[in-house]
């Protein structure tokens, strides 16, 4: 008898076919995100669950007595209550590596869009305001040869460094929980304290996981250390930043601008002041959102799922 799994997240047909070879499955067949109450109804008899976000906590585990694995279609896993899952011997998996280059591309898209005011000036043209040359109050700033500070030197951070160093001749500082001597030697980056990075960088990129320690890592005091000409980029998790403090810093002109792919509450409230600011580029959490990368993530999540329900150790087991 094949193991039973529930697919709570839409995946490509080819990935679904792969799962079908190894498992009996049901799926949430709607464009709307599955509700918590509906999810709990679907998992009473399943060995595996494929999902993207949504709390995996004691309540959910109590509704799924046969559950062996939760496979996240995401590199993040802050939705996992790892202690509760460990107590129940339920494995959790994620999809690292396959999205690194794609996210690094987006980081540089945000750097360029904010520095050269691309979104703002796109609206300027489309609104019919371009009557002659533009005044210097609409000028942007250079990215090439500027100083980039990366908070969080993981796999994606290293991909960002390569773009910065080899594509834009930028000096790169980094701050990380653990110093990366190999990156310093191979990539020519300089380690510094968080305070030094914030004070010296022209662009500050936040690339950290969301944990209890990193929640609101960037707040009022940290923003006050940044140059008034600095631009802040966040493609990690919205909760790593005190959003109210960021709003105040932007309103007061304490920093030049921000490029944000993530927010404290998602989808973001249309009344959020950040959405009204011309010096903010706001995106709907699209870090990995390309056709190929999302396919690769779904297939990796499926492979993790199948391995685990088949009694094997999945390749991307979350263990911390």
Structural contact between residues 189 and 161, judged by C-beta atoms closer than 8 angstroms: yes
Place of tokens 């533009």: 134
Cβ–Cβ under 8 Å, residues 175 and 197: yes
- For residue 109, which of 250, 267, 235, 257 has the smallest C-alpha distance? 235
Cβ–Cβ < 8 Å for 202, 146 = yes
Residues carrying an active site annotation: 237, 266, 285
Can you list the alpha helix ranges (DSSP code H) found in 169-233? 181-187, 194-200, 220-225
Q: How many residues does the chain have?
A: 320
**Is the omega angle on the peptide bond into residue 86 within 30 degrees of 0, that is, cis?**
no
Exposed/middle/buried for residue 142 (C-beta within 10 Å: 0-12, 13-18, 19+):
exposed
The neighbouring-strand residues paired with 93 are: 71, 317
C-alpha span between 183 and 152 (Å, rounded): 12
């Amino acid at each position: 008898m094949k193991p039973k799994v529930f697919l709570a997240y839409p995946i490509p047909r080819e990935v679904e076919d792969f799962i079908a070879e190894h498992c009996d499955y049901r799926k949430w067949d709607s464009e709307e995100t599955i509700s918590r109450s509906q999810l709990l109804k679907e998992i009473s008899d399943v060995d595996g669950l494929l999902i993207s976000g949504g709390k995996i906590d004691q309540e959910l585990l109590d509704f799924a007595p046969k559950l062996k694995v939760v496979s996240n279609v995401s590199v993040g896993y802050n939705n996992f209550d790892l202690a509760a899952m460990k107590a129940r011997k339920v494995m959790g998996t994620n999809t690292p590596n396959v999205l690194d280059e794609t996210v690094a591309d987006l980081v540089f898209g945000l750097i360029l869009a904010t520095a050269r005011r691309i979104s703002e000036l796109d609206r300027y043209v489309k609104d019919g305001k371009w009557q002659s040359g533009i005044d210097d109050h609409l000028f942007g700033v250079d990215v090439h040869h500027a100083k980039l500070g990366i908070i969080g030197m993981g796999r994606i951070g290293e991909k960002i460094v390569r773009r910065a160093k080899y594509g834009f001749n930028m000096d790169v500082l980094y701050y990380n929980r653990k110093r990366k001597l190999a990156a310093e030697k191979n990539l020519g980056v300089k380690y510094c304290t968080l305070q030094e990075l914030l004070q010296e960088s022209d662009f500050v990129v936040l690339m950290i996981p969301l944990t209890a320690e990193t929640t609101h890592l960037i707040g009022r005091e940290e923003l006050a250390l940044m140059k008034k000409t600095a631009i802040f980029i966040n493609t990690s998790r919205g909760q790593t930043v005190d959003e109210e403090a960021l709003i105040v810093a932007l309103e007061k002109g304490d920093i030049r601008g921000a490029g944000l792919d993530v927010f404290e509450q998602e989808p973001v409230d249309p009344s959020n002041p950040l959405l009204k600011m011309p010096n903010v580029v706001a995106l709907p959490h699209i870090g990995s959102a390309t056709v190929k990368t999302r396919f690769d993530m779904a297939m990796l999540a499926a492979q993790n799922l199948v391995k685990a329900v088949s009694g094997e150790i999945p390749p991307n087991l979350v263990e911390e």
